[in-house]
Every structure is written in C-alpha cells, then in structure tokens.
Structure 1
Amino acid sequence: MRLEGKYDARIQLAEQMTRAQVLRLRRLSEEAYQPSQYARDLSFTEAARRIQALEAEIELANSF
C-alpha cells in the first residue's frame, strides 16, 4: 500500500504542468489578449493544448 501511494503521487506530479509551460502559457495568453487562458492549476495535457491553440491564433493574427 505504501509503495502504491508513492506511485500515485508520481502520476499526479507528472500530470501537473511544468514551470516552462506556466511561463509560456502566461506570456502567450497576454500576447493574445486572452488572460482567461492562463490558470495555475492546469494539467500538463491541458496546458499543452492551450499553448498550441494560442500559438496558432497568434501566428494567424501575424499573417495579416
């Protein structure tokens, strides 16, 4: 049981967004004028999805 608890904690930590994602998402959300896209409690996957969407939106805006 003890080992299982440690394993669960590792999985939970792996699912949290990284510090790099925090910084990148904060910068991109400000650049895209969408501060609501940034939240500190996102999972790694959700942060990656939002970063990708914001990058695409910024790239599209810059193409005009």
Structure 2
Amino acid sequence: MQVQGKYDARFFLGEQMTRAQGLKLKRLSEEAYQPGQYARDLSFSEAARRIQVLEAEIELADSF
C-alpha cells in the first residue's frame, strides 16, 4: 500500500514476504552457507531484516 509516494510500514508488518524477497533470501542464505535463514513463511519485515543481515555478513567476509 502506498501513501503519497511512500510505503506504509504498518501494511507490510503482517504481510508475507514478496516473491523477490524470497528469491533473494534463498540465494543469499546459500551464498553465506546459512540455509536455515531461509523459510517460506516469513513476514515481509522479517525477510527484509534477514536479507540485510546476510548482505552485511557476505560483505564482511568478502573484505578479507
């Protein structure tokens, strides 16, 4: 749901993750060797949080 060009966070808190989030999360969890981070029944906000954490971990690992 959009409100004047901005997303209403309250709308997404209880919503299921999007297909794009699912695909990205699955790829990142495999790349980070943490397949347990992926689950089909995550909320939009939980998927976003896990994606952010995995991206940070991968970036950190690549910096060495």
TM bin, normalised by shorter chain, reads 0.7 to 0.9
Larger relative helix fraction: 1
- How many residues of Structure 1 are paired with residues of Structure 2 in the alignment? 53
Distance 1:25 1:43 in 2: 12
The one-character-per-residue Cα deviations of 1:2-56 (angstroms, maximum 9, x if unpaired) are xxxxxxxxx68x6110000000000000000000000000000000000000000
Divergent runs of 4+, >4 A: none
Question: What are the within-5 Å matches in structure 2 for residues 1-64 of structure 1?
Answer: 15-64=15-64
Runs of 5+ consecutive residues of structure 2 not aligned to the other structure:
1-10
CA RMSD of aligned residues (A): 1.6
> Structure 1: where are the runs of 5+ without partners?
1-10
More strand by share: 2
Larger Rg: 1
1:47 & 1:22 partners in 2: Cα distance? Answer: 8
Which TM-score applies when normalising by structure 1?
Answer: 0.78
Percent sequence identity is 81
TM-score for the superposition, normalised by structure 2: 0.78
How far apart, CA to CA, are the structure 2 residues paired with 1:15 and 1:48? 12
